[in-house]
Amino acid sequence: MATYQEIQQWVRKNKGFVPKSCWIADVKEKCGLPVRRASNRRGEKRENPCPPKKVNAIKTAFRHFGMI
């Protein structure tokens, strides 16, 4: 499985923006992929969910790395 840093670099190179790690975690969770609970997370709800227009780019990176 690719690291968050690898995903960020791939998205930056191929899609022109750097996704926040919390966006990657949000999309991983939506795709049913395992995520660890962040030590600084407050409650169950995500404070910074991935913007809908960025989800497809992150999912494309997941496909590139064979995660989905």
pLDDT tens digits for range 17-65: 999 999 999 999 999 999 988 888 788 888 899 999 999 999 999 999 9
- Tell whether 41 is covered by a domain: no
Burial class (CB in 10 A: 0-12, 13-18, 19+), 13: exposed
What domain range is 26 assigned to?
1-34+49-68
- Tell whether 11 is covered by a domain: yes
Domain count along the chain: 1
- Tell whether 58 is covered by a domain: yes
* Backbone angles phi and psi of 13, in degrees to 5: -70, -40
- Tell whether 39 is covered by a domain: no
- Tell whether 43 is covered by a domain: no
The Cα 54–Cα 18 span in angstroms is 10
pLDDT in tens, 5-14: 999 999 999 9
